[in-house]
Amino acid sequence: VSRISNTVIEPDADAVCARSDAPLVELRHVDKHFGDLHVLRDINLTVRKGEVLVILGPSGSGKSTLCRTINRLEPIDSGEIIIDGQPLPEEGKDLTRLRAEVGMVFQSFNLFAHKSIVDNVTLAPRKVRHMSKEDATAEAMRLLASVGVADQAAKMPAQLSGGQQQRVAIARSLAMHPKVMLFDEPTSALDPEMISEVLDVMVDLAHQGMTMIVVTHEMGFARQAADRVVFMADGQIVEQGTPSEFFDHTTTDRAKEFLGKIL
Ligand code: ADP
Ligand code: MG
């Protein structure tokens, strides 16, 4: 297993905070429908600063929708979402700012295909944070080094492996100095031999104190890196606990059935 932990990921002094009781992300009574489908049912969830939350659950249980509501890629029907003490704004400028505070890495790499790797990372900091080209490039190179792909900076995304592209996607999110990083099945589209290089970067990020919400089927990562595991089914949080509580002392039939299929 390749380790990238000898490089230090330093997204931002503000982003890496010591784990504390301060809530960073709060969902209160969040409900959402897609037409007749009640996709999120009274979700109540608090993620503390520096906490690594892993969300597990069968396909269709609402995990991706939950992630997407946290940065308002999806509107909610009712309830509240509070990031670092601020309610999520409905629209406008504040929403742009807020999305910058909530980094998101998807299953598909979503790099801009017609921009070089370094330009992928500098684009948003230059546009949204109004950084100079020199400063943005210097920071991009530092972030690309921290995820082990600095030598790929001048290439185009298609010239990189899937694992390298996903590490660039993480660096690109970190360039906005997010307060929390959301990962929605970041390794599901990768060839098996590339999964660990991406998980290693995520483990490093967790060790740096980044607040993370991670949807994954990688149970090794959940056991190793999660502070808390949340199990969803049918749009509800059915069970939650520490990794050892959840995996070794599963209480609900739904979670037992799920673990029986995947372990
Ligand atoms: P998961 O990520 O846990 O697999 P999703 O959040 O993607 O689950 O989906 C939950 C449910 O919502 C599924 O039944 C899915 O088909 C449905 N769904 C997701 N997105 C939409 C959408 N944009 N419009 C209608 N239904 C959707
Ligand atoms: Mg999903």
Q: What is the pLDDT of residues 192-224, one digit of tens each?
A: 999 999 999 999 999 999 999 999 999 999 999
Separation CA 67–CA 64 (nearest Å): 5
Task: Give the distance (Å) from ligand 1 centre to CA of residue 195.
Answer: 25
Distance 151 CA to ligand 1 centre (A): 38
Distance 135 CA to ligand 2 centre (A): 36
| CA-proximal residue: ligand 1, atom 15 (nearest) | 60
- Which atom of ligand 1 is found nearest the CA of 68? 6
For 198: left if phi > 0, alpha if psi spans -120 to 50, otherwise beta; the answer is: alpha
Is the pLDDT at 126 greater than 50? The verdict is: yes
**Mutation choice for ligand 1 from 39, 41, 66, 106, CB with most ligand atoms inside 8 A:** 39
Tell me the CA end-to-end span of the chain in Å, nearest whole number. Answer: 21
Q: What is the predicted pLDDT for the residue at 5? A: 41
Q: What is the CA(234)–ligand 1 centre distance, in A?
A: 10
* Mean pLDDT, residues 101-128 taken together: 93
> Is ligand 1 within 6 A of the CB of residue 59?
yes
Does residue 36's CB lie within 6 angstroms of at least one atom of ligand 1?
Answer: no
Q: Using a 6 Å cutoff on CB, does residue 61 contact ligand 1? A: yes
Q: Is the CB of 138 under 6 A from ligand 1?
A: no
- Say whether the ipTM exceeds 0.95: yes
Which DSSP category does 148 fall into? T
Ligand 2 center from residue 64 Cα (angstroms): 4
Query: pLDDT tens digit string along 156-189?
Result: 999 999 999 999 999 999 999 999 999 999 999 9
Q: Is the pLDDT of residue 93 over 80?
A: no
Q: Which ligand is nearest to the CA of 66?
A: 1
Residue 20 CA to its chain's centroid (Å): 19
CA–CA separation, 203 and 55 (whole Å): 16
Beta-strand pair 228-233/236-241 = antiparallel
Q: Token digits for 111?
A: 């790099």
CB crowding 199-215: b at 16 or more within 10 Å, else e: bbbbbbbbebbbbbbbb
Q: Tell me, using a 6 A CB cutoff, whether residue 63 lines ligand 1.
A: yes
Q: Which residues lie near ion ligand 2 (Cβ < 5 Å)?
A: 63-64
- Ligand 1: atom nearest CA of 215 is 2
Q: In this predicted model, what pLDDT tens digit does every residue of 235-252 receive, in sequence order?
A: 999 999 999 999 999 999
CA–CA dist 68, 248 (Å, integer): 30
Atom of ligand 1 nearest to the CA of 58: 3
pLDDT digits (tens, 9 = 90+) for 10-46: 444 454 545 567 899 999 999 999 999 999 999 999 9
Confidence of residue 8 (pLDDT cuts 50, 70, 90): very low
Tokens 């991670």 -> residue: 214
Closest-lying ligand 1 atom to the alpha carbon of residue 35: 25
How many CB atoms are located within 10 Å of the residue 263 CB? 7
Q: Cβ(55) to ligand 1 under 6 A? A: no
| Residue 180 and residue 212 in contact, taking contact as beta carbons nearer than 8 Å | yes
